[in-house]
Amino acid sequence: MASKQPFTDSDIADEAVRATCDDASICKRFATSKGYWTDLYVQYFVRQVGERKAPEINRGYYGRVKGMNLLIDAFLKKTQCDCQVVNLGAGLDTTFWRLKVENIMPKKFFEVDFPMIVARKIHHINTLLCCCVVIVFTVTFHLFNFVSLTDGHSLDSDRYCIIGADLRDFPTLEEKLKKFQINPELPTLFLSECVLVYMTAEQSSKLVHWVADTFPTAMFINYEQVNMNDRFGEIMIENLQRRQCNLAGVDLCQSLDSQKERFLSAGWKSVNALDMMTVYSMLPQEDVARIERLEFLDEKELLQQLLQHYCICWAVKDKLNLGEASILPN
């Protein structure tokens, strides 16, 4: 009987990165339970609300979700949904389900993540689709009449595809996207949220370079850390390192300019970046006022520091002249 191989430092680091999927999902579950925004589906992927999260964490996730959604919806509007979306490192994200409910679906929505995470998500989906009593899922049930479960780490239908792959294993990622019929001629939106930072600068640059070379009309939205060279940033890094979570690409998170340069050097034509303090100030202020009444925030300076250390960067290639470079959250 063969002995089990010992865990390597790389295995431990990958497990720590996978754990951040649960962290983000649990935080979103708690924030939605408090009424920060509506998500009809997160409860089916994260069953327990979990322990209380600090108000600054909830407001930070509110800004993240709303900022990303503004850009996603703007892209879909510009393309009139004649496009495809690829969510890299999607985890238990529910964006696909939101778009379906709001009837702003792209032609196809792809998700990619570690095979272990994908297997969990597919299990949740299969369980829920088999339980017809879950009324909220019946709105999407017809999408899965022709689902092809090729293995435990992938799911495919006409409009929705989940792929188990390591983003650092670039040849396999490219092969699987082609296998599930990604169409380079369609305008394509790539999403990543705190994903590229766990790849080396060389690995993430290779990925964004491939996207720029392969998709003539594309947009890449990246939510990630920024301003990581000050003391607050150092504390963030130290906290993650204590959990064996290495930010391999943190050198590209030093400033908004370094975030933009990753895309400009890879051939993207137009790149913008805003820290989350700026994004937060640009969100519809009536709704911001509403969520700020949900919980008393004692540490306003902490929220400001937190928002100043995350950003949204979006890069555009617009061969079809759809006007994507003009997309701004407003």
Binding site for S-adenosyl-L-methionine, by residue number, is 64, 89, 166-167, 193
Calpha distance 23→29 (Å, rounded) = 10
Give 316's strand partners: 219, 270
What is the CB neighbour count within 10 angstroms for residue 35? 13
Q: Name the DSSP class of 230.
A: S
Calpha distance 216→64 (Å, rounded) = 28
Q: Which residue ranges make up the annotated binding site?
A: 64, 89, 166-167, 193
Calpha distance 122→162 (Å, rounded) = 8
Degrees, nearest 5: CA angle 83-90-199: 110
Calpha distance 225→64 (Å, rounded) = 12
Calpha distance 330→228 (Å, rounded) = 26
